[in-house]
Amino acid sequence: MQPHEINQYIQEKGYFYLNEGELDVHLFHEGTFYKSYEFLGAHAINRFEVNAVRFVVWAPNAHQVNLIGEFNDWDPSRHPMQRIKNSGLWQICVVNVQPFDSYKYHIVGPDHSIHYKADPYAFHAEERPQTASKYYDLSGYQWHDDAWCIQRDQSDPYHSPLNIYEVNLLSWRQKHDGKQYSYHDLAHELIPYVKDLGYTHIELMPIMEHPYDGSWGYQLTGYFAPTSRYGTPKDFMFFIDQCHQNDIGVILDWVPGHFCKDAHGLYHFDGGACFESSDYERAHNEQWGTVNFDYSKPEVNAFLISNLFYWHELYHVDGIRIDAVAYMLYLNFGGQLLKNKYGGVENLEAIDFIKKMNQIVFQYFPHTLMMAEESTSWPMVSRPISDGGLGFNYKWNMGWMNDILEYMELDPIFRKGFHKALTFSLTYAFTENFVLPLSHDEVVHGKKSLLSKMPGSYEEKFAGLRLLYTYMMAHPGKKLLFMGGEFGQFIEWNEWQALDFHLLDYEAHQKLKQFVKDLNWTYRQNNCFYELDTSYDGYEWIEVDNSNESVISFERINKKGERLVIVLNFTPIERKNYPVGVTIPGKYETILNSAAIKYGGTMANGPQIYTSKKELMHHRYHAIRITLPPYGGLYFKLKED
């Protein structure tokens, strides 16, 4: 047939098939196709002078796959897909598909059961409760974040400030009529808010498409589709672009461990075990009612690693926080009695996948952040694979978080018996590259908000929370605070409603927010807090064992040997003339006082200056004697002459 005859035939028939992409097919089944989103899914093509959209889907167990959508009145007989030779992939090229057209795959399983599935590689989806995919062309967005990307790729995250504001977009703020903000609304309101408070990064709880708001985005159906709750994919690109233009990095939460059982999602995708294992116990996560990925399948490896490439390359994200890594590492972490082939409880395939994932991602995106939420004592999570580690570059410090929150909830009279909870974290603080998280998980399910956890009177609760933040910011490790913590949300986080920003009408909450802002900027402007953040060279105890008075003090040190002195009082008792040993004699000036009147405390707002005297104290030859306020945290800096 001549080209014009082929063109006419295709236009009359409405679809055609292509015999091309053999290398892509091979690499996908080999598990090494790290841009598989460029082949699978729905993509515009031009062949035989015909504009069409090619659909490719992985359904190895299927008896037949048909494409259904708005363009064929959802009729399975109109567009039968063709299995690509010697593969588990199916394809069809369809003319007259329009942007935003909804579609699904009508899959006939090996037992002839019928399954209506969204596209695992779809770039866009219908807004819940609708469940179809939408054809969407990602090309054409004009980025304006070159300056940010250059600066990011030249920076050293280990020796730079990293202070993260964790956000659930649905419940940060809502409009007066209860409607959710769009990506554009959030760009205009969330970004200036975060920038003013002094955070360096925003971490978004999963924004990949998910059916149920109550899952917080941790049970996904569309890994390649930013949720349509807030707009289109290009709207989300705009949000990230605006973050970068305002010098704010973006970290996405990501869930490579498990997925939900919703009928249109990945579960039982082609009528058989596709993304999951055929072993029921290995496949099913009974604790969460979800299904685990099967990392032994090369195609699952390609799917997940491609997803990381996708968010980095097409959306310019600056990092990924990997959820529930412990559930990936251990076969029995969810309570199941499973063993590997050697009789151990480690998930060998998941471990191999994690190492491969990190190795490949850092090969192509060397300046990204790969943060593991890993809650066990698994060693070397954030150490290089070449040294025997898992290859992440950060790990959430769940031990510090549990210890400090348990300690802060105690009545101060009992704290002296639990002093180790304050100090134990320093025995392992440099075994990993840690992030200190006060995350969403700590303010839900009856755990109370951070402010409500604090014991004592109304005023003491605020003082205790300021003290907690003061300790957190001075403790080695990067920082993360969940939204609402900055102004003292009193009730637990509720994903169905906006934060209680009306609390800022009250003075105590206003002052707490101002304190958090000043604390964040104090952290960023003093490199003693972060320049040697991964080494004992950057930390030195002054007083570690004063359990009777519940006081600790220490120094944070930069590369030049300059020191900040941190003194923290975890009781409601003022201590006058309190001795603090100092390494260098001179005048010491407060650069932050959590008990200042402007923050809701009782001490004068201006900096206090204390002159050291020759006095053997805390293994040092000089000391300052200070007024240590109740529930007070003080940062001191040697005053230059």
State how far the Cα of 41 lies from the Cα of 613, in Å rounded to an integer: 72
Which H helix or E strand runs over 396? strand 394-396
For residue range 274-321, list pLDDT tens digits in order: 999 999 999 999 889 999 999 999 999 999 999 999 999 999 999 999
Whether 282 and 294 have beta carbons less than 8 Å apart is answered as: yes
pLDDT tens digit sequence for 209-240 = 999 999 999 999 999 999 999 999 999 999 99
Judged on CB neighbours under 10 Å (0-12, 13-18, 19+), 254 is buried
Q: What is the pLDDT of residue 2?
A: 58
Contact 450, 492 (CB under 8 A): no
Nearest CA to 622 among 535, 542, 559, 558?
542
The architecture (CATH level 2) of 536-638 comes to Sandwich (2.60)
- CA pair distance 480, 523, nearest whole angstrom: 13
- φ/ψ of 577, rounded to 5, equals 55, 35
Which structure tokens are listed for 169? Answer: 């977009």
For the chain, the structural domain boundaries read 3-134, 161-255+297-529, 536-638
Query: 88-116 pLDDT, tens per residue?
Result: 999 999 999 999 999 999 999 999 999 99
Q: Which amino acid is at 92?
A: I
Cβ-based neighbour number of residue 356 at 10 Å: 18
In degrees and rounded to multiples of 5, residue 301 shows phi and psi of -60, -45
Beta-carbon count within 10 A of 509 CB: 22
For range 140-162, the mean pLDDT: 95
Give the pLDDT confidence of 396-408 residue by residue, as tens digits: 999 999 999 999 9
CATH classification code of 3-134: 2.60.40.10
180-to-172, 175, 193, 238 alpha-carbon distances in Å = 9, 6, 17, 17
The answer, yes or no, to whether residue 13 has pLDDT greater than 90, is no
Place of tokens 């206090």: 608
Q: Could you read off the pLDDT of 132-146 as tens digits, one per residue? A: 999 999 999 999 999
Does residue 166 carry a catalytic annotation? no
- Strand-pairing partners, residue 563, are 557
Overall size of the chain counted in residues: 641
Domain 3-134 identical in fold to domain 536-638:
yes
pLDDT above 80 (res 634): yes
Residue 462's SS3 state is helix
Q: Which of the residues 24, 373, 533, 555 is marked catalytic?
A: 373
Residues 227-250 as b/e (b if ≥16 CB within 10 A, e otherwise) read bbbbbbbbbbbbbbbbbbbeebbb
The pair of three-digit structure tokens given for residue 109, joined into one six-digit string: 């399983």
- The secondary structure element, H or E, covering residue 548 is none
Beta bridge partners of 290: 285
Query: Tokens representing 474?
Result: 């001075």
Name the one residue in this structure whose structure tokens are 């491969």: 356
The partner residues of 102 in beta bridges, in order of sequence, read 134
Mean pLDDT of 512-538: 97
When the candidates are 3.20.20.80, 3.40.190.10, 3.40.640.10, 3.40.920.10, the CATH number that belongs to 161-255+297-529 is 3.20.20.80
**For residue 23, what are the contacts with CB-CB under 8 A and spacing of at least 6?**
none
Each residue's pLDDT tens digit, 449-473? 999 999 999 999 999 999 999 999 9
How far apart CA 463 and CA 454 sit, in angstroms, is 9
Among candidate residues 101, 253, 294, 323, the one labeled active-site is: 323
Mean pLDDT of the residues in the chain: 95
Encoded amino acid at 421, one letter? A
Residues 6+ apart with CB under 8 A from 486: 165, 197, 512, 513, 516, 517
Rounded Cα distance, 214 and 354, in Å = 28
User: What backbone phi and psi angles, to 5 degrees, belong to 503?
Assistant: -60, -20
d(CA 575, CA 626): 8
Burial 375-395 (b: 16+ CB within 10 A, else e): beebebbbbebeeebbbbbbb
**Hey, what are 327's tokens?**
């559930």
Cβ(334)–Cβ(287) below 8 Å = yes
The amino acid occupying position 517 is K
Instruction: Identify the band that residue 50 occupies on the pLDDT scale cut at 50, 70 and 90.
Output: confident
Q: pLDDT band for position 641 (50/70/90)?
A: low
The CA distance from 415 to 408, in Å, is 8
Is residue 373 annotated as part of the catalytic site, yes or no? Answer: yes
Judged by DSSP in three states, 195 sits in helix
Nearest to 15 by CA among 83, 84, 97: 97
What's the alpha-carbon Rg for the chain, to the nearest Å?
28
d(CA 13, CA 192): 53
Q: What angle do helix axes 183-197 and 233-245 make, rounded to 10 degrees? A: 20
